[in-house]
Amino acid sequence: MKLIKTKAELIDALATIRGNIALVPTMGALHEGHLSLVSAALADGSSGSNSDDLVVASIFVNPLQFADLGDCDDYRNYPRTLEADAKLLESAGVDIIFAPDVEEMYPQGTPEIWVRTGEMGAQLEGASRPGHFDGVATVVAKLFSLVRPHRAYFGQKDAQQLAVIKRMVHDLDLGVDIRGVPIIRGSYGLAESSRNQHLSATDRENALALFATLSALRDRQTDLEQARVELSHAPGVDLDYLEVVSPETLQPIPWPPTAPALALGAITVGGTRLIDNIDI
């Protein structure tokens, strides 16, 4: 396993690769969810000691996708655990870790030219985090340019991010095969997230209301309006949104959906914002 910190070294290391490259973009502070992306990337490649296929994981806390371009506590306090992350990725079987610093990625400071994610990025999560998806799409486009992957892996938990990236690849003809990896769930269905570490035992119990509501929608035990009312009255839950949308366009779908749809929601529990979604 190679740990690479500069673009020049990365381009050099990839120059002679004849196999397919899989990319797992991350911001570090890795948990089971990230490792499932790596497992999927490894499983999809051709295996064996003679295989030329390669898995690259990137670790970069991207200031462009935080409030005020990173001039905020959320960015400053984001856990940076490179040593531990590198150990995890090495034992998971990653070939190259690309972990540039901010000056390496953005040598002239904030870039002048960005990817614009429009209405798709402005709604749902984007409504409470203006500019977030433009920042995500811009850094992912840069990573695609640097790594030139054949496939790239993103968690289905961040359903809006996955839809935005798929649409970017389509609209900009980037030619990367985007694969969504299923949500890892802990006890009683709580979706794995680095934010779960901020939840007390009571918060964890209260947080289960989101998955329970999404499951009830999937099983048609409730309708969307009723589900919103019940979730907004669940103990300790502050409801941000609960929507049923098209998985590709993220446009709202009238209830009951007659085609495959995505139910997604965001709540705050004990000061921690959580998101989750389910195919219905």
53 binds ligand PAF (CB under 6 A): no
126 binds ligand PAF (CB under 6 A): no
CA–CA separation, 243 and 145 (whole Å): 34
Which of 25/247 has CB closer to ligand PAF? 25
45 touches 21 (CB < 8 A)? no
Q: Which stretch binds ligand PAF (CB under 6 A): 69-77, 132-140, 194-202, 246-254?
A: 132-140
Among 125, 158, 203, 243, binds ligand PAF (CB under 6 A): 158
154 touches 165 (CB < 8 A)? yes
The count of chain residues that interact with ligand PAF, using the rule CB under 6 A, is: 10
Torsion sign across C-alpha atoms 163, 168, 171, 174 = negative
57 binds ligand PAF (CB under 6 A): no
Among 14, 21, 22, 27, binds ligand PAF (CB under 6 A): 27
Please state the φ and ψ torsions of residue 275, each to the nearest 5 degrees. -125, 155
Check if 170 is active-site: no
26 binds ligand PAF (CB under 6 A): yes
List the beta bridge partners of residue 155.
181
59 binds ligand PAF (CB under 6 A): no
Shortest Å distance, C-beta 143 to ligand PAF: 8
Q: How many residues does the chain have?
A: 280
Q: Which stretch binds ligand PAF (CB under 6 A): 21-29, 108-116, 144-152, 169-177?
A: 21-29
Please state the φ and ψ torsions of residue 266, each to the nearest 5 degrees. -135, 135
Among 25, 70, 149, 247, binds ligand PAF (CB under 6 A): 25
Among 22, 40, 62, 117, binds ligand PAF (CB under 6 A): 62
Helices (H), the chain: 7-14, 32-44, 73-76, 82-92, 102-105, 118-122, 125-128, 132-147, 159-171, 201-218, 224-232
List the beta bridge partners of residue 83.
none
Contacts of 147 (CB under 8 A, 6+ apart): 10, 14, 21, 23, 56, 58, 98
Shortest Å distance, C-beta 92 to ligand PAF: 16
Q: Which stretch binds ligand PAF (CB under 6 A): 2-10, 24-32, 189-197, 252-260?
A: 24-32
Write the DSSP symbol of residue 184.
P
Residue of closest CB approach to ligand PAF = 25
Which of 75/255 has CB closer to ligand PAF? 75
Among 14, 139, 163, 169, binds ligand PAF (CB under 6 A): 139
CA–CA separation, 238 and 251 (whole Å): 23
Shortest Å distance, C-beta 24 to ligand PAF: 9
Active-site amino acid positions: 34
Give residues in contact with ligand PAF (CB under 6 A): 25-27, 62, 65, 136, 139-140, 158, 161
